[in-house]
Amino acid sequence: MKKIISFLVCLFFLQGFAQSLAWWNYDSLQNMYSYSLGINRVDGNGNVYLLYSATPERFRSYTFYIEKYTPQGTRDSNFGVNGVLNLNTLLGYSSSEEPPVFSFEVTESNKVLLLMGTPNNGNPKLLRLNEDGTVDQNYGVSGTKQIYTDPSKYGKHYRSGLYKVGSKYFISHNYSDLQDKPKAEIGCFNETGELLTGMFDQGLKQIDYGSAYAYTQIQSMVVSGSYLYVQGVGYIGATPNSRISRIETASGIQDNSYVYNPNLNISFNNTYIFPDGKAIVGNSTSVSSSRTDLKLKKYLADGTVDTSFGTNGELSLGYPWISLNFSRIQGLPNGDFIVGIAYVSTASSGNRRNALIYVKSNGEINSSFGGNIPNNGIPIPGFLGLIGYYGYNTSFTLKPDYLMVTASRSYMGTGLATCRVNFNYSTLSADEVSKSYAFSFYPNPVKSVGTLTVKDNSEATISLSDSSGKLVFRNQVFRNKTEIDFSTLTSGVYYLNIKQKDKESTQKIIKE
């Protein structure tokens, strides 16, 4: 394995905000014919994992790598070889073989959990790695747990995806049955790869648009707050019909009141759906042969345009000396959101660079963020330029007080740039993103009775489920403050879900 050298850069920007850490790797990638992925994940200790693949020349198989960085942005020398793990070598694949790696997450125990397939039929399996990059031999059989293995149900297996919500792992799965009919389902697993039978139908949920369709396939899934949004496509002959469904991650119940909005598409990263069902859609619009502007449109949960956002529901950003190219969106728990872009300053060198824009929920630009990108020499408030040239943002991981961004870099050496971007917003908890910003629960851990308090006197509903997804109670109504009795419940992890006005949050509760 060729050693990849990482460079750490500390950068400080205007108005008190800091892009606290930025680093990039390019020594081995600059001679590669191509590379892809660039997915980052952050564990409970702030360590950063980066998964990507690269090929040295055309028509060669990909080699997959995982890098591990400390919270300070330096390579963890105890992981792999000097912080870099060659998955092909680890798994025994030759240079002409490509391991089918679908995606990965970092578990509650700070271990890497990879979703993979088998070379012949793509049968999904989970592979768990220790914190030093070695295979966890205590997991499954030699570190591997086979899933979706029922021989009376599954014929061939196709695309799969892994999505972590607290201690639950939702795995999408497209397959053909024994009659070679395409089907799709979602499984809810724990870290050990066992189905959580309290969710769905014994842990499995079929995605089927009905008898009018020849078959249904899952295209993409995203997690937002306490919901799993699933985009599938149903085929009537060769004609596809795409739609998005919303499923509660605590109970596994599909929210049939969620209105399908044909303007939303989560497969191509131009849509972000908030926990309350509101959504932002981003695109670039051509203004001239040398310039594009950014257009953002906001929808309410019922599919209508949110006219309180920007100008009649739209926000258009354009500058005479800058071309803006849309990349992706990341929502924040207070309703604001970050937009990733690539921009070209036509007044200077013309090199395309990566940046973030902080947009408030009403469509205003947060002028206290960024300010290091000039428009014909004048800084633009709300725009934060990142390291990386001729690239685009490929992966976001949101933490309580920062955003971890990985972007491609293909100017003066191909590579991947990773930045930890600090930001502030008043309503976010100091604990974890999934922790409520609308209520407080004390004590946690709890032995008998805990007190739940909301921030105003409006009506709220709460539901409680255990770690398997089984509901303890559902939709209890209260105002301001209520007590919850845990004394009769067994020790373990529970999830408390609260809905109040247009806010919704889920908090992990430990019962001692």
Give the HSE-up count for residue 239: Cα atoms under 13 Å, Cβ half-sphere: 3
Which of these ranges, 76-80, 116-120, 416-420, has the smallest mean pLDDT?
116-120
Residue 9 has pLDDT above 60, yes or no: no
Confidence of residue 121 (pLDDT cuts 50, 70, 90): low
Segment 279-294 mean pLDDT:
92
Mean pLDDT (whole number) for 115-120? 77
Confirm whether 253 is domain-assigned.
no
Copy the structure tokens of residue 133. Answer: 């990059």
* Residue 508 CA: distances (Å) to CA of 221, 331, 497: 22, 21, 9
Structural domain total, the chain: 1
Please calculate the CA angle 131-133-137 and round it to the nearest 5 degrees: 85
Tell me what the mean pLDDT of segment 327-354 comes to: 82
Cα four-point dihedral sign 349, 352, 358, 362: positive
The answer to whether the beta carbons of residues 246 and 186 sit under 8 Å apart is no
Taking only the tens place, the pLDDT of each residue in 140-194 is: 999 999 999 999 999 889 889 999 998 899 999 999 999 999 999 999 999 999 9
When mean pLDDT is compared across 239-253, 302-316, 437-451, the lowest value belongs to 437-451
| Residue 468 belongs to a domain | yes
pLDDT at residue 125, as a whole number? 94
Q: Which domain holds residue 465?
A: 439-511
H or E segment to which residue 234 belongs: strand 227-236
Residue 3 clears pLDDT 50, i.e. is over it = no
Between residues 6 and 171, which one has the greater pLDDT?
Answer: 171
Q: Which of 52-66, 121-135, 194-208, 306-320 has the lowest mean pLDDT?
A: 52-66
Instruction: State both tokens at 159.
Output: 């695309």
Residue 51 — very low, low, confident or very high, per pLDDT cuts 50/70/90?
very high
Let me know if residue 448 belongs to a domain: yes
Residue 61: band (very low, low, confident or very high) from pLDDT cuts 50, 70, 90? confident
Q: Beta 227-236 vs 291-299: how paired, if at all?
A: unpaired
**pLDDT tens per residue across span 223-279:** 998 899 999 999 888 888 889 999 999 889 998 889 989 999 998 889 999 988 999
Question: Is the pLDDT confidence value at 480 over 90?
Answer: no
CA distance 39 to 278: 26
Mean pLDDT of all residues belonging to the chain: 82
State pLDDT tens for residues 395-413.
899 987 789 988 876 544 4
pLDDT exceeds cutoff 70 at 460: yes
What pLDDT is stored for residue 7 in this prediction? 37
Q: What does the alpha-carbon distance between residue 477 and residue 459 come to, in Å, rounded to a whole number? A: 7
Task: Please tell me the predicted confidence (pLDDT) of residue 412.
Answer: 45
Residue 171, amino acid = I
Domain annotation covers residue 67: no
User: Which is higher by pLDDT, 495 or 197?
Assistant: 197
Cα(189)–Cα(492) distance, integer angstroms: 17
Give a yes or no: residue 494 inside a domain.
Answer: yes
Secondary structure of residue 366 in the 3-state scheme: coil
Residue 331 lies in a domain: no
Does residue 446 form part of some domain?
yes
Burial label for 323, CB within 10 Å (0-12, 13-18, 19+), is buried
Residue 433 pLDDT grade (very low, low, confident, very high; cuts 50, 70, 90): very low
424 versus 274: the higher-pLDDT residue is: 274
pLDDT greater at residue 284 or residue 350: 284
Is residue 74 scored above 70 in pLDDT?
Answer: yes
* The pLDDT of residue 309 is above 90: yes
Q: Across residues 463-492, what is the average pLDDT?
A: 85
CATH assignment of the domain containing 451: 2.60.40.3080
Q: Which residues pair with 202 in a beta bridge?
A: none
What is the predicted pLDDT for the residue at 233? 92
Distance, CA of 38 to CA of 14 (rounded, Å): 28
Within a domain: 335: no
DSSP per position, 150-205: -TTT-SEEEEEEEEEETTEEEEEEEEE-TT--EEEEEEEE-TTS-B-TTTTBTTEE
